[in-house]
């Protein structure tokens, strides 16, 4: 579906000057011009503009940084959950940086066998070698050195797999449901996955800790 500038402004809440700036910077697809004074934008421009706004508001990314993300990742910007996941992956790599496997092994100071063990157990993602993964490997190495019971971490992985299936089902259904407004879908799913989920998990950790303190005081 093609959109006129007025419709694009209404659906995104952005000004005409901002939209033209995104177009000038190559962030939006060129509109079709069936007539000299008529420009028709692809409806994917709505999701692109909302994604740009989300990156600026939540990650303080500059236009130059956003152009880098777009240049190094392929987004379809349709209403699919797969695109959302690709966007999350791109954000991680852009903020963390990425290394080759050989560079990662050298920086992490682990051998390939140990890395494969961490990947096989689901502790780190296969093929993602960024600063975030370096931090995780450091935590895992310290946990092993202190002979920590890894049942807690294994439980994280097991629950994460179940949650991932549910997230995919809920996300795919939300984005595919034409009865709901398209506006805000991507932002809602980003906020649920990147903000609400860790908030709830950490909140219950704090609650359990406080409960134990109160129980000890009551003895």
60: domain CATH number is 1.10.1660.10
Buried/exposed 144-180: b ≥16 CB within 10 Å, e otherwise: eeeeeeeeebeeeeeeeeeeeeebeeebbebbeeeee
Total number of domains constituting the chain:
2
- Both 54 and 157 in a single domain? no
- Both 35 and 82 in a single domain? no
- Both 169 and 183 in a single domain? yes
Global pTM?
0.64
- Both 56 and 144 in a single domain? no
The domain in which residue 51 lies consists of 1-71
- Both 32 and 98 in a single domain? no
* DSSP category for residue 192: I
Q: Find all residues with CB under 8 Å of 139, minimum gap 6, and list them.
A: none
- Both 14 and 26 in a single domain? yes
- Both 142 and 198 in a single domain? yes
**5, 11, 30, 45, 212 from 2: Cα distances, Å:** 10, 13, 12, 10, 59
pLDDT at residue number 76: 63
* Domain boundary residue, one of 71, 104, 125: 71
Closest CA to 89 of 132, 49, 60, 118: 132
- Both 195 and 98 in a single domain? yes
pLDDT at residue number 125: 82
* Positions in the chain whose pLDDT score sits under 50: none
- Both 102 and 138 in a single domain? yes
* Domain boundary residue, one of 71, 98, 128: 71
- Both 11 and 86 in a single domain? no
- Both 102 and 160 in a single domain? yes
- Both 126 and 193 in a single domain? yes
* Domain boundary residue, one of 16, 45, 71: 71
């Amino acid at each position: 579906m093609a959109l006129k500038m007025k419709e694009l402004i209404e659906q995104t809440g952005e000004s005409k000057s901002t939209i033209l700036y995104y177009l000038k910077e190559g962030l939006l697809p060129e509109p079709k011009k069936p007539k000299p004074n008529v420009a028709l934008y692809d409806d994917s421009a709505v999701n692109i503009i909302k994604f740009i706004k989300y990156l600026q508001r939540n990650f303080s990314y500059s236009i130059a940084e956003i152009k880098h993300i777009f240049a190094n990742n392929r987004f379809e910007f349709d209403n699919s959950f797969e695109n959302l996941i690709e966007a999350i992956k791109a954000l991680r790599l852009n903020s963390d940086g990425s290394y080759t496997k050989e560079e990662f092994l050298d920086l992490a100071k682990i051998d390939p066998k140990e890395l494969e063990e961490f990947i096989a157990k689901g502790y780190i993602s296969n093929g993602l070698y960024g600063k975030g993964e370096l931090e995780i490997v450091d935590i895992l190495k310290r946990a092993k050195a202190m002979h920590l019971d890894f049942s807690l971490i294994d439980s994280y992985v097991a629950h994460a797999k179940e949650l991932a299936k549910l997230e995919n089902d809920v996300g795919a259904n939300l984005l595919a449901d034409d009865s709901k407004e398209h506006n805000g879908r991507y932002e809602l799913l980003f906020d649920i996955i990147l903000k609400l989920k860790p908030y709830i998990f950490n909140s219950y950790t704090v609650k359990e800790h406080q409960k134990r303190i109160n129980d000890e005081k009551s003895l």
